[in-house]
Structure 1
Amino acid sequence: SPHPVRGAATSPGKEVATMEHGSVTDSTASSFSIMEEDHTLANSVRFVLNQDPRVAFCGYSIPHPADNKVNISSDYRYYQTETQQRMF
């Protein structure tokens, strides 16, 4: 199940961002789901992260137009826990 990101809630019990399970086991990749957002934020995050030389890839998807949910995935050139924490 997804893991809530610390400090990312608008009201008790409602997470705005979650770290997806697969990214917990791979130290060179991260996947986040951000609720109540769209292309505006996602494309900005993608652009900024791709400017960082430590990031090998960053992209996003919106699973369905009716859902206000953005999935952001990134891969790092090497193990970068500190970089991941700064980005998100």
Structure 2
Amino acid sequence: MGQITVRELEERILELEEVVVRIRAPHDALVNDYAGKDGAYERKAAGTTSVSDWLEQRIKPSINGLEYSIINGDYSTPHGRTKLSTLRNSYEK
């Protein structure tokens, strides 16, 4: 697994997952690439996945213990049981 900057990771997550994640680190700090065991993610996580499961499976392995925030459409933090489809729908298109 390669490394990318925090800024690149935030941008990749937004582009693929359609979710805003802010990582508390300098934007040029290095973190693990947004990828699973089989390589880079090509599809967004299922809408039925909870935010907490998504964080455990996809986000936390990339950020090396750094603090982060998930921001929904009304600029608040969604509950961990919120489904990704609900979170994605909270953003104005």
Shared topology, TM-score over 0.5? no
**Would you tell me which structure has more strand in proportion to its own residues?**
1
TM-score (normalised: structure 1) = 0.28
**Would you tell me which structure has more helix in proportion to its own residues?**
2
Higher relative contact order (CA 8 A, sep 6+): 2
